């Protein structure tokens, strides 16, 4: 599920965060300093159901494990109105928010590798989903998981022509990607390694001939010490540091100038640490845990505050900073907004006793036949694995799918 779409801002309005009072259908507009004015709007939510037919008569198709969970999303810069997202069934898709059309982008293949016994892997054996998707700062290149989940595909924007594929650095799934600038990218994998990649200046220049792509190798590959599966990466630009989050409950800090690990710190919780975000000023990290969001000082890596999720055991699946608002996606289909200055969840402009919460719809879900009886005893809600704002801060794309591994489905919604 890498990523988020990019809508182009008109450049006239300062950055602001818009949040929705679901109960009254009203918006409250916040500047970085104070609450300005209430803007009444009809709340519109578009929920796209990415339905794929499961053909039971095809033994190969139906025998394979298909999970249409949206894992990452990003906004496409020059296209103004498009979201690109990756799914757990290895599909890279582009959604047009105006025409509501969904197009699939061909996945890139690297050089054919062989298994330990010398045979070529069967189709689908190395495809375990697109877990990462990122656009470079100048919005000219897109990096995403490739057909082989161990590899990285690079595309040129806004045409989405293939540029190259990075391989040979990882032996397990690539779980996150992070651009350091327009040329250098860092990847993190379940094999506990981080890799540094470099693209040429000519790679983001459009070409007239038939699109082709080449194979590149990483500049450097290093093991992340004390880590078990590198789950999330974020670049602290003001401090020139790379923060890595591992599933064994550690945060690791790397010096990006030397590509060298500086220190590692044990987190208070080691359960479900799957997402991380950095404040634009670089002063604070937010780390999603099973029952709360942890705020950490980037200088000392000491906990600042634990923000309870308000829903016991729901799990924090995605997080992002938008000015002084921390947006939190949960495992129970709810998106919450925490005001960092006020030190509390954002309150409704209509009813101050209620907090602002966006509730997702059911989306599309397909449980296995043998699990149908037990499945319907519990109310199903999709997990919000990814979300992103547009450049004006007035629209929010949220996406995800079921948490249980034996349930198939997806959810995607656009809020404005």
Work out the average pLDDT over 147-162.
Answer: 92
pLDDT at 207: 67
Structural domains counted in the chain? 1
- What gap in Å lies between CA 38 and CA 61, rounded to an integer? 52
In a domain, 9, yes or no: no
In a domain, 163, yes or no: yes
pLDDT at 126: 72
Q: Which of 32-41, 201-210, 327-336 has the lowest mean pLDDT?
A: 32-41
Give ∠ CA 245-91-80 in degrees, rounded to 5. Answer: 85
Q: pLDDT per residue over 336-388, tens digit each? A: 999 999 999 998 888 877 889 999 988 888 764 444 555 555 678 899 999 98
Work out the average pLDDT over 126-140.
Answer: 88
CATH number of the domain residue 81 falls in: 2.130.10.10
Q: pLDDT per residue over 179-191, tens digit each? A: 999 999 999 999 9
In a domain, 49, yes or no: yes
Work out the average pLDDT over 14-18.
Answer: 27
Alpha-carbon distances, residue 315 vs 43, 148, 288 (angstroms): 27, 29, 7
The residue range of the domain holding 246 is 17-110+125-415
pLDDT at 76: 59
In a domain, 119, yes or no: no
In a domain, 332, yes or no: yes
In a domain, 2, yes or no: no
Work out the average pLDDT over 382-410.
Answer: 86
- What gap in Å lies between CA 376 and CA 76, rounded to an integer? 38
- What gap in Å lies between CA 415 and CA 69, rounded to an integer? 19
In a domain, 36, yes or no: yes
pLDDT at 380: 80
pTM for the full model? 0.80
User: CB neighbours of 347 closer than 8 A, spacing ≥ 6?
Assistant: 353, 354, 355, 356
In a domain, 306, yes or no: yes
Q: Which of 130-134, 162-166, 210-214, 287-291 has the lowest mean pLDDT?
A: 210-214
């Amino acid at each position: 599920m890498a990523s988020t779409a990019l809508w182009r801002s008109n450049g006239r309005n300062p950055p602001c965060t818009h949040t929705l009072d679901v109960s009254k259908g009203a918006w409250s507009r916040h500047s970085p300093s104070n609450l300005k004015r209430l803007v009444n709007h009809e709340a519109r939510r578009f929920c796209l159901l990415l339905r794929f037919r499961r053909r039971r008569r095809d033994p190969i198709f139906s025998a394979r494990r298909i999970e249409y969970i949206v894992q990452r999303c990003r906004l496409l810069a020059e296209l103004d109105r498009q979201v690109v997202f990756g799914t757990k069934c290895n599909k890279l898709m582009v959604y047009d928010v105006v025409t509501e059309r969904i197009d699939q982008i061909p996945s890139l293949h690297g050089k054919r590798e062989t298994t330990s016994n010398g045979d070529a892997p069967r189709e689908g054996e190395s495809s375990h989903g697109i877990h990462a998707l990122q656009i470079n700062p100048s919005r000219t290149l897109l990096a995403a998981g490739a057909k082989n989940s161990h590899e990285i595909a690079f595309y040129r924007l806004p045409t989405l022509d293939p540029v190259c594929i990075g391989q040979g650095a990882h032996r397990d799934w690539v779980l996150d990607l992070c651009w350091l600038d327009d040329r250098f990218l860092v990847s993190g994998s379940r094999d506990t390694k981080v890799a540094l990649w470099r693209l040429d200046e000519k790679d983001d220049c459009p070409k007239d001939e038939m699109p082709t792509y080449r194979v590149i190798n990483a500049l450097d590959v290093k093991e992340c010490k004390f880590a078990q599966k590198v789950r999330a990466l974020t670049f602290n630009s003001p401090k020139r540091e790379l923060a890595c989050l591992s599933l064994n409950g550690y945060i690791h800090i790397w010096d990006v100038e030397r590509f060298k690990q500086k220190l590692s710190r044990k987190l208070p919780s080691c359960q479900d640490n799957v997402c991380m975000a950095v404040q634009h000023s670089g002063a604070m990290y937010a780390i999603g845990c099973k029952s709360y969001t942890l705020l950490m000082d980037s200088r000392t890596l000491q906990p600042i505050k634990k923000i309870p999720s308000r829903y016991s055991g729901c799990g924090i699946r995605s997080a992002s900073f938008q000015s002084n608002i921390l947006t939190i996606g949960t495992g129970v289909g709810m998106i919450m907004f925490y005001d960092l200055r006020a030190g509390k969840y954002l309150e409704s402009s209509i009813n101050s006793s209620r907090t602002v919460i966006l509730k997702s719809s059911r989306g599309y879900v397909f449980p296995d036949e043998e699990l149908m009886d037990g499945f319907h005893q519990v109310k199903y809600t999709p997990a919000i694995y990814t979300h992103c704002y547009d450049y004006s801060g007035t629209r929010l794309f949220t996406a995800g799918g079921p948490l249980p591994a034996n349930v198939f489905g997806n959810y995607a919604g656009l809020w404005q």
